[in-house]
Structure 1
């Protein structure tokens, strides 16, 4: 399993939200490039970036911060937030982004997601953010009646590289991931699933690794910033044999 350190961008700074509330943002760094470099030097093999303002606006807002990150590191970067059309997608992929995450578009414009995945094999992922099992879009501000597993299955044959599944109620709350929902989603589809939301300790990583579902990776943010998880130790844990979990 890969560990994806999260850099959530709000007004140009690296922040963490509590359950997706933009008013409950804690600033951890004013220098996204330096933060990305620190994560890379600690041993991560991927970075997970979210343009929070962009997710609400429906267009890129923290572009300068994303550029700074791409310039600062050589590890692959995946980005979500505000990528709603082909022009924006092409811009970021040409700029050097390894993987674009399409979330709101997966609900509102699934044909665009399918076309993007076909045109860019291995470089388009679907972000599924759920509250109470139901998908939320537009920066988690709008609820839908679509079940997370149902949405994932809609893209089973689309060729998407991964599904990033976030349990909104756990995100930033430091209360552990939603193991049951994450494992159920991973078992329901053949698409690689990356878990997100609530990971706050090495024990949480061990639990995800041992959950019995074929998870591709896990995203962690706040716990890395405040030192609850040592990144190098976490990478070694996820790289180790399953019986070491």
Structure 2
């Protein structure tokens, strides 16, 4: 199982939100590229990036910060937030991004996801963010009637590289991930599932790994707060 340390970008800074609310942001640093380099130096295989402003704006906002990160690190990075057109997807991949994460557009324009997955094999992931099993869009501000498993299954034949499943009520709350829901989703689809939201300790990571079906986990606040020792976590997952 791969651990993806998260860098959430708001106004060019590294932040973490509580339950996805922009007015509940904690700033952890003003040099995202330096933070990414630290993650790489610690031995991380991937870095997970989110353009929070972009998720609300519907277009990239923190592009300069993302480009600085891509220029600084050699490990692959994935990015979500405000990526809603083929042109934006193509631009990011040309700039060296290894994987784009499509969230809102996966609900509103699933044909675009299919087109992107065909055009850029292995480089398109679907981000599914949910409250109570229902998908939320537009930076989690809007809740839909779409069920998580139904949305995931609709992309089974699309060639999507991964599904990133976030339980919004766990995100940034340090209360542990929703292992049961994430495992159920991973068992319901053949697409690799990455857990996000609430991963706050080494036992959380071990529990996710031990399901045997979850391919990755994203953690942010726990790493910044020191609740999760990155070196220890990476060693445990490799061991």
Q: How high is the TM-score relative to the length of structure 1?
A: 0.97
Deviation, structure 1 residue 142: 0.4
Corresponding residue of 2:14? 14
Aligned partner of residue 169 in structure 2, secondary structure: coil
Taking the aligned partners of 1:239 and 1:164, their CA distance within structure 2 comes to 21
Give, in whole Å, the separation in 2 of the partners of 1:113 and 1:23: 30
Match of 1:39 in 2: 39
Question: Which sections of structure 2, spanning at least 5 residues, go unmatched?
Answer: none
Q: Give the equivalent residue in structure 2 for 1:29.
A: 29
Where in structure 1 do 4 or more consecutive aligned residues deviate above 2 Å?
none
How far the C-alpha of 1:215 sits from its partner, in A, is 1.0
Aligned-pair distance for 1:211? 2.4
- Give 3-state SS (helix, strand or coil) of 1:15's partner: strand
Summarize deviations over 1:181-228 as a string: whole Å, max 9, x none.
Answer: 00000000000000000011001111111124x111000000001111
Q: Distance in 1 between matches of 2:94 and 2:71?
A: 13
Is residue 2:4 matched to residue 1:4?
yes
Question: Could you tell me which residue of structure 1 aligns to residue 228 of structure 2?
Answer: 229
Q: Give the drift of 1:236.
A: 1.2
TM (norm. structure 2) is: 0.99
Query: Equivalent residues in 2 for 1:139-150 (5 A)?
Result: 139-150=139-150
Q: What aligned pairs does 1:1-245 form with structure 2 within 5 A after superposition?
A: 1-212=1-212, 214-240=213-239
Q: What is the Cα-based RMSD across aligned positions, in Å?
A: 0.6
Secondary structure of the residue aligned to 1:176 is: coil
Whole-angstrom CA distance in 1 between matches of 2:43 and 2:125: 23
